[in-house]
Amino acid sequence: MNHDLSNSKSQTSTHLTVPIWIIALMLTLIFLGGVYFDHHSGWFDAKVYGPYQSAGQLAAYQPLSGEAAIVAHGKQVYEINCGTCHGPDGMGMPGKAPPLAGSEWVNAKGFHRLVEIPQLGLNGTITVKGQPMNFPTGMAAVGSAMSDADLAAILTYIRASWGNNADAVTADDVKAVRASVGGHHAIDGDVELKTIPE
């Protein structure tokens, strides 16, 4: 074998081909390396050290307690249920939904109106940060099917984020408001919203 190799080399090097099994082995090794990398690198995240294997796993192991845990949960549920219209940054989207950041409805002292908006839905002209706005689609009753705890977590999150600063809303608060509204129709803009006590 060695002999053959040196022989052929002395004649011409262009006849030397890499055996197919070496190429296959290389590709397998590269593939396995990629799999290992995917499992263990944490994508070079500076915060992820072994034994944690990804930023997501590290986040799941944060010992949150009290309001911090509720806000973290609220952020998750918000981004799935409300963020599509109001934006992950709470700034709203033109033609889709008004901002929640800095909104007087979100920062209100009481929580009654704020629970009723996602519970019943909202149509018509709405004034946010002093500006009357109109959205052809309005907002459906997106919160009506959520658990008390989830809706409370969302409201607590939006009241504590993006510069907003209002008290937390508890699951009991949500439950109480829900029991009082029953099967009401969607709220009709500013005008009707203002008739609901804060």
For the chain, helix, strand, coil in percent to 5 are 50, 5, 45
Among another protein, ligand HEC, none, what binds residue 124 when CB lies within 5 to 8 Å by partner kind? Answer: ligand HEC
Distance CA 42, CA 53 (A): 5
- Binding segment (CB under 6 A) for ligand HEC, from list 4-12, 20-28, 31-39, 83-91: 83-91
Over 7-47, what HEC string results? HHHHHCHHHCCCCHHHHHHHHHHHHHHHHHHHHHCHHHCCC
Pairing of strands 126-128, 131-133: antiparallel
Establish if 90 lies at the interface with ligand HEC (CB under 6 A): no
| Residues making up the chain, counted from first to last | 198
Could you say which of 48, 115, 120, 122 contacts ligand HEC (CB under 6 A)? 122
Among another protein, ligand HEC, none, what binds residue 105 when CB lies within 5 to 8 Å by partner kind? Answer: ligand HEC
CB of 143 to ligand HEC, least distance (A): 4
Distance CA 188, CA 126 (A): 9
Site map 33..72 versus another protein, x via CB under 8 A: -----------x-xxxxxxx-----x-xxxxxx--x----
Residues lying near another protein in the complex (CB under 8 A) are found at 44, 46-52, 58, 60-65, 68
